[in-house]
Structure 1
Amino acid sequence: MKKLLKRIKALIRKIFQQFSSTLEPSPPPSYHSPETWIPPIPPVPSFAPQWENGLVLVCSQCTVEQFAGSSHRINRSITATEELQNWLKSRLKFDGLWGKYRVISTSCLGICPQSRVVVVLRNHLVGQQCLLVDPQSDREILYSYIKQMNQ
């Protein structure tokens, strides 16, 4: 019985050796050394976005986290962040700028300001600005920053 087990183990080892040698990756092209060879990156489709003037990223967690930590229960169907987003969208539409700009809700951006909302303005010419805004009192100021990206 011991001899049979030894033979089976030897056979299994032989099979694994043969199997592993057939799975080895093929060598890189000969004109590259193995240390510097980098596999080609496949192309990914791209497009020119409608919102050429910029993106407005609004953190969706800022006001939610603040209300969740309070001791009293707040019955709100819409958060201050969502209200700010809706206001920005309607204002951009009213001024005929919707489409040139895009207002997008994001998850937590990791800043978590007290009684404020994180808004990131992104434009290919200006770069990026991170603002801490009061969703009620700083609306017009935020909108003026957004309109400045248009110039």
Structure 2
Amino acid sequence: MIKKEDNPWSKGIVLVCTKCHKAISSKNLREEGNAGENLKTFLKKSFKESGELSKIRIVTSSCLDVCIDELQALTYASVDGQTETFTVHPEEDREELLNILRKKIKD
């Protein structure tokens, strides 16, 4: 039997593609490892430190079908059903992305 569950996050979810890192040159990155995983970790840590992690869920995803060389794709889906997809440099654009997401989860 299928049972509908309430979302454990109150505002939305972020899906971070882990396949994009294959199209980002390591010479354009400071951190080692998967750029998508690293971005997810940064976002989760930032939201946890600000006490906002209960408002937003940040998870990795397989390909989001937005493949642009040297950029990381991610999608924000709000609990009201609106979705937005972004492409960012996974390190250089982190703070700007964090600010965009913070605005989206404001009460």
- TM category (shorter chain) comes to 0.7 to 0.9
Query: Structure 1: 5+ residue runs without aligned partners?
Result: 1-42, 71-75
- 1:13-92 pair list within 5 angstroms: 44-66=2-24, 78-92=33-47
Which secondary structure state, in structure 1, belongs to the residue aligned with residue 102 of structure 2? helix
User: Which amino acid in 2 is paired with 1:133?
Assistant: V
User: Which amino acid in 1 is paired with 2:75?
Assistant: V
1:69-108 Cα distance to aligned partner (Å, 9 max, x none)? x9xxxxx852221111110010010000112211110001
1:128 aligns with 2:83: yes
Offset at 1:126?
7.0
Equivalenced residue count is 103
Match of 2:92 in 1: 137
- In structure 1, how many angstroms separate the alpha carbons of the residues matched to 2:48 and 2:99? 15
Offset at 1:124?
2.6
Larger radius of gyration: 1
- In structure 2, how many angstroms separate the alpha carbons of the residues matched to 1:150 and 1:106? 21
- In structure 2, how many angstroms separate the alpha carbons of the residues matched to 1:59 and 1:50? 21
User: Which amino acid in 2 is paired with 1:117?
Assistant: Q
- In structure 2, how many angstroms separate the alpha carbons of the residues matched to 1:126 and 1:49? 12
1:17-52 Cα distance to aligned partner (Å, 9 max, x none)? xxxxxxxxxxxxxxxxxxxxxxxxxx6201111112
Which secondary structure state, in structure 2, belongs to the residue aligned with residue 109 of structure 1? coil
Please, which moves more after superposition, 76-85 or 139-148? 76-85
Query: What TM-score comes out, normalization by structure 2 length?
Result: 0.84
Check the 8 A contact 1:88/1:143 in 2, yes or no: yes
In terms of fraction of residues, the more strand-rich structure is 2
Identity of aligned residues (%): 26
Q: Bigger relative contact order, structure 1 or 2, given CA contacts below 8 A and separation 6+?
A: 2
User: Which runs of structure 1 show a deviation greater than 6 angstroms over 4 or more consecutive aligned residues?
Assistant: none
